[in-house]
């Protein structure tokens, strides 16, 4: 699995944009509404992150949007 930079929407709850480290960050993520949310590599992915969907989204868009959540 490639390493991803995660960006979190500040007002969207747990909306994330995952961008492979070797790809250009989409312009919409660089605005004031987004913040860096960490790095995802071979470790544990956030709940809601789907590796297959990420591969497909990145192939077509260069990024992968997903909604994370916590398990109680």
Query: In the chain, which ranges are continuous DSSP H helix?
Result: 51-61
φ, ψ for residue 16, nearest 5 deg: -125, 155
43 pLDDT more than 80: no
- Please determine, for residue 72, whether its predicted confidence score (pLDDT) is greater than 90: no
pLDDT at 35 over 80: yes
pLDDT at residue number 71: 66
Task: Report the number of secondary-structure helices (H) and strands (E) in the chain.
Answer: 1, 4
Model pTM greater than 0.85? Answer: yes
Give the whole-angstrom CA distance, residue 7 versus residue 15.
Answer: 8
């Amino acid at each position: 699995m490639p390493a991803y930079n995660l960006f979190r929407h500040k007002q969207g709850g747990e909306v994330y944009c995952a961008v492979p480290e070797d790809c250009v960050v989409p312009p919409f993520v660089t605005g004031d509404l987004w913040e860096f949310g960490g790095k995802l590599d071979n470790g544990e992915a956030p709940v809601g992150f789907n590796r297959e969907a990420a591969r497909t989204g990145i192939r077509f868009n260069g990024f992968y949007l997903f909604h994370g959540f916590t398990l109680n």
